[in-house]
């Protein structure tokens, strides 16, 4: 059961990262479209749309990378703790025998 939970968590983290990046791209495209196609004239034109697109892509990508990295650090801590416990058990068996 424990292995199922950890493997499911790994898959969930990967899914969160992929969906986050898709969301960032969709948000950047939508904002660029809204700024360039504003019928009321207050959007700033194509230049502002490109800047918004690039800014949202960079900011969103950094956010997803940081969140994904934090989640993977948690998985790494779990893996290292598990390995250390196994090594300590082996060493205890050697010293007690």
pLDDT at position 26 over 90: yes
Residues 6+ apart with CB under 8 A from 72: 13
Mean local confidence (pLDDT), 90-94:
91
Q: Name the average pLDDT for the chain.
A: 89
Percentage of the chain with pLDDT > 70?
Answer: 92
pLDDT, tens only, 35-71: 887 766 665 677 888 898 999 999 999 999 999 999 9
The pTM of this model reads 0.77
Residues 6+ apart with CB under 8 A from 36: 43, 45, 46, 48, 49
With CA atoms as reference, report the closest residue to 77 among 85, 88, 65, 89: 85
């Amino acid at each position: 059961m424990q292995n199922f939970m950890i493997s499911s968590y790994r898959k969930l983290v990967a899914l969160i990262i992929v969906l986050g990046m898709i969301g960032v791209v969709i948000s950047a495209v939508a904002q660029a479209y809204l700024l360039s196609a504003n019928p009321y004239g207050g959007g700033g034109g194509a230049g502002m749309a490109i800047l918004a697109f690039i800014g949202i892509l960079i900011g969103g990508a950094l956010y997803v990378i940081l969140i994904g990295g934090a989640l993977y650090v948690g998985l790494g801590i779990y893996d290292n703790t598990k390995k250390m416990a196994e090594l300590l058990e082996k060493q205890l068996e050697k010293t007690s025998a």
